[in-house]
Structures are given as structure tokens and as C-alpha cells.
Structure 1
Amino acid sequence: MIPRVLAIAGSDSGGGAGIQADIKTITMLGGHAMTAITAITAQNTLGVTKVMPVPTDMVLAQIDAVVGDIGVDAVKIGMIGSARTAWALAERLDPQRPCHESAPPMQVVFDPVMVATSGAVLADDETIAAFEALMRRSTLVTPNVPELEILTGRKIATVEELLAAALVLAKRTGTQILAKGGHLPTDEVYDVHVISDELNSYGYGPRPRIQTRHSHGTGCTLSSAIATGLASGRPIAEAILDAQNYVRATLEAAPGLGAGHGPMGHGLGRAHFPV
């Protein structure tokens, strides 16, 4: 059966991030993409000009509609839209509860989106506070450096500090953490994966940094790709590596659209990504 992946995130009118990036990624990697839209944004490569959250009841109705009929193997969560929706998702998405009796538990990948690439704030303090319960429900949480600093209250300027902060968050939430090092001031990119129950840690990288301003949607793409790998039954370490390779391919294939942080080449990257 085709891997069934539910993306819970905001809509990006520019098509580079959010639900649009999720659908492209899941489809390119062989999954069936379903959506629960949490917010509607007006944005382009220069930034976000307006955000309208979708009511929590409607977000839950979208989830229930697809889970009850099509079924879900993995869930990717991105922009949430409101604290009320965050709390409701934490209650609804229990990885120990399968979508039907014969199904395995759902895998949940949570990308704790707070600020867009352009700098626009996409989560208020109340919503960020509600992330705690949602992280505890997740299989994997994928914060970047600014997000990890907010979630842990630590300053991060080196790979060693990235690892230390990831360990703190993993221990506090009991959840696996993939701490993304792309924001560190280095020529190479290094990510850290922490397994909380044994405090085992290992890294992905270093890899040469791809110099491009067309990187809008990297976090959305990575988390959706990981969720697709998990939905396919791949071990989490393999799903992460495959997802990172896909992200790099889309960065290299970016079509160069817009005057700001442009979209990545989700479709064009197909020619460069080994099947």
C-alpha cells in the first residue's frame, strides 16, 4: 500500500513552504499526501503580509475526515496557528493510538515552526508554550537553532552547544530530537539526532553548505520527507538521511524565482535524487 502521510500545517500562497512544500515532497517521495490546513497566509519570497488561523474545530474535522476513511501511517506537523489548536492536536494525535485496530501506531514528526525564513512570527508565546505537550506526543521533533534556543532557553553558537541543547530537550520531553545546524555560522552543515531514552546521540554531516538564497521551505521539506520515510516503514535514521539528501537536491535545483528567499526545486530535484 502507498504510504499515507497527513501534513498538518499552514498554507503558503507563494508555494515554497507549508502545505504546498509538504504535498510536493510527499508526492515526489512516493507517498499519498493528505492535509489539515491550520492557517492561511498571504506571502511571497519577500515575506508574510497576513495570517489567518483556521478554527480549531475545522482543523480537527480535516484530520478526522482522512483518518476515518483513508487512514494515516505518519503525520507531519508544521505551523499550528493557535495555542488552542496545539493543545487539541496534542490530545488527538497520540502515537500509541492507531488510526484503526489493525494498524500500527502513527509516527508523528513535529517541526516547531515559530518564525518564517523572512523573519515573520508564525507562533505567539501562548502557542509556543503549548508545544510542550505536542512534543511529548511526537516521534521526532525537528527544531532549527533559533527554535531550539527558544525551547531550551540556551544560546547556541557551536555544534557542541547544539548537541547539549538537543540533549536537554530530549530528556525533558522523552522525545527524539533532530537539531538542525543550518543556522550556525559555519561553512559546513551539521545536524544532531538525539534518542532520549538512552541519551544516545549521533550526527549527520558535516556536509558542505549550499550557497543559495532560494531556501524557503527547507524545514517543511525535511520534516515531510522524514514522515514519508517513516510511513514507508524505514528506520528513523535511514528516513533522516534520505530526507537530508532530498533537501540538498531541491536546494541545488531551485528555479530562482522571486526577489527574496525563493522556493526550492521540489520537482526539478527529481533528476538529481537517486530513486
Structure 2
Amino acid sequence: MTAKYFAPTGGHPPQTQLLTDRAVFTDAYAVIPKGTMRDITTSFLPFWDATRLWVIARPMTGFAETFSHYIMEVAPNGGSDRPEVDAGAEAALFVVEGTATLTVDGTTHVLTEGGYAYLPPAADWTLHNMADTPLRFHWIRKAYEAVAGLDAPDVIITNDADVAPTVMPGTDGKWATTRFADPADLRHDMHVTIVTFEPGAVIPFLETHVMEHGLYVLEGKAAYRLNTDWVEVEAGDYMWLRAFCPQACYAGGPGKFRYLLYKDVNRHMNLRLGAR
């Protein structure tokens, strides 16, 4: 399998470009089109060299509160020996372009395109771009919710190409999910997966559920139903959904429609608002 993933490169639009775009932020969802990921919307982080990032989700009171989602861009010889400053944060990394040299608890791994890493809280890790081309990867962060009697999850290092997708029942293989962690492993309080729709496949009902979502389109295009609206999305776009936002999908083709998906799972609902 040769995976192709969309990665933003920044730049700046010309003065002749029309303002009209597909960006929208509502009480229930946001759509952040790929065209908004320009040089002037990048951020920087302490202890990261030759690196910039697009923050495409962050905890916001009254919206989605459990996670942040970055798209990182690391120049050659860039990276960090101190990437995470919050010892309670877990992370999922997914490489969309280039090569990452990731060292976790003393063991070095090389992640190429499609490479995935899950890093539990308090993991000792570093990440560098030792290649001569830019590295671009997704970094999803969440404050890990520990449960007495459950250990923290193990480190996971794998690749999209090495994980067999799980086909949704009754779909003739047209809808499948690549699961990097075992769904039955209750040590995990978040899942990051890749969802694949073949041309013509649908989510045939309005999903309405407690999980928050971040959906980054890796490949293809589709019409997505978000709350009461139909929106068109394509590779490089991001959808950000608060809990219970109704959602459905129609993948019209001509190729596969694939997205990187975050959701929070496997924990009791906090009954004390404002406390985590």
C-alpha cells in the first residue's frame, strides 16, 4: 500500500484571490479549510527548533474540551529534546510527509509517511528531522484520565500500511476503520484512527454521541452532514465537532475518502463541571 496524505505547506494567497471560502465556526461544529493554513496562522512552541505549527483544535469552554490538535512542520535538522512540557499529557503522532526520528524511553524509531506513535503520559521522548526535506506530522494531545486499578497504556509504534482495516458490518467493505489501539483496552481514554470510505459509501444515519471529534481529511473529498448543514470537504480540511453534534457522510468519489479521527472514550462522565 502506497499511502498519500495531504500536508499543508503554508505560503500566502495573492491579492487577487477572492475572500470567499468554506471556513465556518458554529456552536456545534467548525470547518477549517486547508486554505486557512497559511504562514500568518502558524504558531511556535518552546524548546522546538526550526519548527512551526498550525493549531487546529484546542480545549474551549462550551465547545470541545478534551483535546488539542496540531499540524507540525519541522525543517531539516529541527526538532526537540523536550517536546512535551506537561507530564500528564498523552500524545498520538501521525506522519503525513517526511521522516521523523522518534526516541521513546531510550529506543529510537524511524517514522515514515503513515507512521503512527502513541505516547503515554510521562513518556520520555524526543523527535527530530534528520532528513534533508521537511517533516510534517499531526500531534494530538490529551490530559490522560487515570483510573485506579488500570495501568497507563503502552507505547505503540506502527504504520497505517501495517494495520489491517476493520470493516464495518453490512457495508460490503465500503466503510472501514484502521484502529491503532485495541478498542477493548480500557487503559486508553482516547482513540485515534483512520476512517476509509470507498466511492459511494455513506454513514446512513445521523450519528449523535457523547464523543468529541477532530477529523482531518487525508485523502479525497465528500459531502458531510454536520448538525443541520451539508458541507463539502476535501483533502487538507479539518472538521471539529463538539459532543452530540449530529453527523453523517456521503463519499461520492472518484477516489477513496480517508480521514484521521480523534475521539474520547472509556471513561465516566465528569459530574463536576469545570473540574477534570
The TM-score normalised by the length of structure 2 is 0.33
Greater share of helix: 1
Greater share of strand: 2
The TM-score normalised by the length of structure 1 is 0.33
Q: Which has the larger radius of gyration?
A: 2
